[in-house]
Structure 1
Amino acid sequence: MTHPRPPEPEVPDVLAPARLGPVTLRNRVVKAATYEGLSRRSLVTDALVDFHAAHAAGGVGMTTVAYCAVAPEGRTDRRQILWRPEALPGLRRLTDAVHAEGAAVSAQIGHAGPVANPKSNGLPALAPGRFFHATTTSVTHRATRSDLARIVRAHGRGASMAIEAGFDAVEVHLGHNYLASSFLSPRINRRTDEYGGSLANRARLARDILRAVRDAVGDRIAILAKLNMDDGVPGGFWLDEAIPVAQWLEQDGTVDALELTAGSSLLNPMYLFKGDAPLREFAAAMPQPVKLGVQLFGKHKLHAYPYRDAYLLEDARQIRAAVDLPLVLLGGITDRASMDLAMREGFQFVAMARALLREPDLLHRIAKDPATPSLCVHCNKCMTATYGGTHCVLAPDALRNTDRGAQA
């Protein structure tokens, strides 16, 4: 006697509305956080508003503002948005503009830790211990327990201010060896106190931060966390530890979704950005003596990795198999085929970045013709354009207006 096979689970339509925590998005496509380089004096500019309004008009379900620091020393550049009352009017203008185009908007919040620029900020960069950062040619300070408690509280305050500013979600940065990620990394974190040693200790800061955010906002907005799966360096944080951390965050009930990422802004920044490593453009954008260092040693530090669509899927499957949380697949999502692949693999959302820098209206065109290809060539030269406003160098007028970017 044969038994009928159970029905296959229905694959979501990536372009249909979907629920993310308490928020309903018009589709399952998120504009991933890409540092825009368009804030000034840690405040929103007209150009930053225009940048996100353009992505909203292009059809994404939600756009992500990057990067909003919770503390002055937690910025990678002094121009970055800093959560404080003076920033709220500009942020409200931004969220209103995005909502007017029918999209939701998320604020990426966090503390850059050892990735912060102490020379630009005029404040020491904090890390688990002393660590040399080649890009800023500086050494970090060891974060004290008091520092960490202050930063945890600051995440909660930042999330509360995000509600005041009209955001629909916050994305807590747990990746790229920013502060929480640097504590997760056994290569960077050599502490012997309650924040070092075992994975449970190294994950303490990340869990405390998310608990503070959840306690601050409850279910009023969605909470995402951007979690590294792999630092991309020997001895760093890797999948075998990312899996239990994801499970702990699910058990804690502090996140509505995880966005899965990879790479170390300290030690291997190109690991996330598969494709070319534009050494000449990086050198041109850097001040001396970093410029000379890139010219002499860049090929040993800035590695090029082969590009393929959905290139983080293989690792992300390991997290997908271990948790029931909604997951956002990032990395090489450029067309309808890669989006549908993510849906079939059990991911609830996809995140796009470089493809939308090249074509802000790509999603509208995909909706009209599912066979529409992306024009992004993965040259990564957009990474070197942040100092004048992040944009695709092949379409410099698509999202860029540096005259307006100078306005506060």
Structure 2
Amino acid sequence: MASQSVFEPVPLGPLVLKNRFVKAATFEGVMPRGEVSDALIDFHAEVAGGGAAMTTVAYCAVSPGGRVHRDTVVLDHTGVAALRRLTDAVHAHGALACAQIGHAGLVANTLSNRMPTLAPSTRLSAPAMGLVRRASPEQLDTVIADFGTAAAHAVDCGFDAVEIHMGHGYLISSFFSPNLNRRSDRYGGDRVRRAELGRRVAERVRLAVGDRIAVTAKFNMDDGVRGGFWLTDSLPTAQLLESDGHVDALQLTGGSSLLNPMYYFRGDVPMAEFIASQPRAVGLGLRLIGHRLFRSYPFEEAFFLPLARQFREALSMPLMLLGGINRLDAAEAAVAEGFEFVAMARALLREPDLVDTFARGERDAGRCIHCMKCMPTVYSGTECVVRSALRDQPNSSSV
């Protein structure tokens, strides 16, 4: 029989989650020109109906320039009614809804967005398709204000929580990094000044939402690149965020969408599928240099746990363990070690009802095989290709 601790209610700021399981942000790929589509609503309603306590909508940009690309939701006043349909659908299943909010920074595709993006220091960016200029202090003031405005819109949309994106080389994460941030003003230099943007954003978001909803942050423990953000910086930075008191929990992650994306996925690189999903010119480039951009890391259950233990020892605030959790015993062990929540992504792509499956005692492991062939599907609608193949078969019930 499963331990009951993972299925018991637990507080998160002003919320009470019905269990410990959170659907981590996974870019859904079904927001053409930023539209909140029926497919996006169905995606999260299915997860909510499958037993997860909270599902996270990824990724909601705080401004048009902060989008990853043109098919990214911008959390402004124009989308409130549509996103309210999504949160209502999630709530109808007894689950909670979280909006991941952020500015893509160096990860923004400026050609797709048709507008420039920002960086801590001027540098070339492959995702941005060119040179990204150093943000001025005045531009950063605007970004901070945009985060507050987006968070206020999240409340209007009916979201129960917002997750500030402080990971994966996005704008705030890039300011944390000694490799990417070469500034000498209030936003760069030592680790305290490099943390200034993230701290000011968290403060503005909390000011905007008060205690009406929970505020969390997706936080990099390790960029996975030489000279990047690592434990000697990330642990003290997390302590600063805790001491400020604006964030209710950290979801611990790692890697860089800019420089090392496979660090936070793990498993074989689906290079053939990536090439097939891209325009011909991009596909040719991937054939030539794809092995340099996408390093291969072996999959291990709960692969971020060794790093996350360092944070559990250093912090008293609630933490969400992320990274390759596919087994019930791994979730139970995480809770036993003091992690308040377990965040799952790929496992719930394969089986949106996995949490209910665990709770019923039917199985103690998910069906995800960690093939990572879901990654290239973000360009056409994120899905588990194994599940989709089974679902398309007549008379098939094993989905």
Instruction: Specify if TM > 0.5.
Output: yes
CA shift, 1:371, in A, is: 4.0
Aligned residue in 2 for 1:92? 84
What CA distance in whole angstroms lies between the structure 2 residues aligned with 1:383 and 1:76?
16
Q: For the Cα contact (< 8 Å) 1:225–1:258, is it kept in 2? A: yes
On the 8 A contact 1:279/1:298 being kept in 2, the answer is yes
Letter in 1 for 2:345: A
Within 2, Cα distance between the matches of 1:387 and 1:265? 15
Per the alignment, residue 12 of structure 2 pairs with 20
Task: Please give the secondary structure, in 2, of the residue aligned with 1:266.
Answer: coil
Deviates more, 1:35-44 or 1:391-400: 391-400
> What is the correspondence of 1:99-178 to structure 2 with a 5 Å cutoff?
99-178=91-170
Question: For 2:229 and 2:16, how far apart are their aligned partners in 1?
Answer: 33
- Which residue identity is paired with 1:50? D
Which stretch shows the higher mean deviation, 325-334 or 122-131? 122-131
Cα distance, 1:136 vs. partner?
Answer: 4.3
Query: For 1:287 and 1:351, how far apart are their aligned partners in 2?
Result: 33
Give the Cα separation in 2 of the matches to 1:366 and 1:346.
Answer: 20
2: CA distance, partners of 1:287 / 1:133? 19
1:331 corresponds to which of 317, 323, 326: 323
3-state SS of the aligned residue for 2:207? helix
Note if 1:341 corresponds to 2:336: no
CA distance in 1, matches of 2:193, 2:88: 40
Contact 2:33 / 2:72 at 8 angstroms: preserved in 1?
A: yes
Q: Percent identity?
A: 53
In the alignment, is the contact (CA less than 8 A) between 1:357 and 1:399 conserved in 2? no
1:297 has 2:296 as partner: no
Q: Which runs of at least 4 in structure 1 moved beyond 3 Å after TM superposition? A: 397-400
- CA shift at 1:398, angstroms? 8.6
Separation of aligned partners in 2, 1:167 and 1:115: 25
- State the 1:137 CA deviation: 2.7
CA distance in 1, matches of 2:61, 2:126: 22
Deviation (angstroms), 1:370: 6.2
The residue aligned with 1:272 is: 264
Count of matched residue pairs: 390
Letter of the 2:196 counterpart: R
Q: In 2, Cα distance between the equivalents of 1:399 and 1:214?
A: 43
Note the residue ranges of structure 1 that are not aligned, 5 or more in a row.
1-10, 401-408
Kept in 1, the 8 Å contact 2:108–2:127? The answer is: no
Matches within 5 A, 1:302-381: 302-369=294-361, 371-381=363-373
Separation in structure 1 between the aligned mates of residue 271 and residue 178 of structure 2, nearest angstrom: 29
> What does the per-residue CA deviation read over 1:89-136, in whole Å, with 9 as the maximum and x for residues that have no partner?
110000000000110000000100000010010011211122222244
- Residue 405 of structure 1 is matched in structure 2 by none
The Cα shift of 1:397 comes to: 7.0
- Secondary structure of 2:7 counterpart: coil
Partner residue of 2:174 out of 179, 182, 199? 182
How does 1:217-228 map onto structure 2 within 5 Å?
217-228=209-220
Residues of 2 paired with 1:115 and 1:308: CA distance?
27
1:24 aligned counterpart, secondary structure: strand
TM-score normalised over the length of structure 1: 0.93
Alpha-carbon contact 1:113-1:178 (below 8 Å) kept: yes
Aligned partners of 2:69, 2:226: CA distance in 1, in Å? 28
Q: Deviations over 1:312-331 (max 9, x none)?
A: 00000001111100000000
Determine the C-alpha separation between the residues in 1 that align with 2:319 and 2:236: 15
CA, structure 1 residues 180+68, in 2 after alignment: closer, same or farther (shift >3 Å)?
same
Q: Aligned-pair RMSD on alpha carbons? A: 1.5
Q: Alignment partner of 1:56: what SS? A: helix
Q: Is 1:135–1:290's contact at 8 Å kept on the other side of the alignment?
A: no
CA distance in 2: counterparts of 1:71 and 1:146, whole angstroms: 15
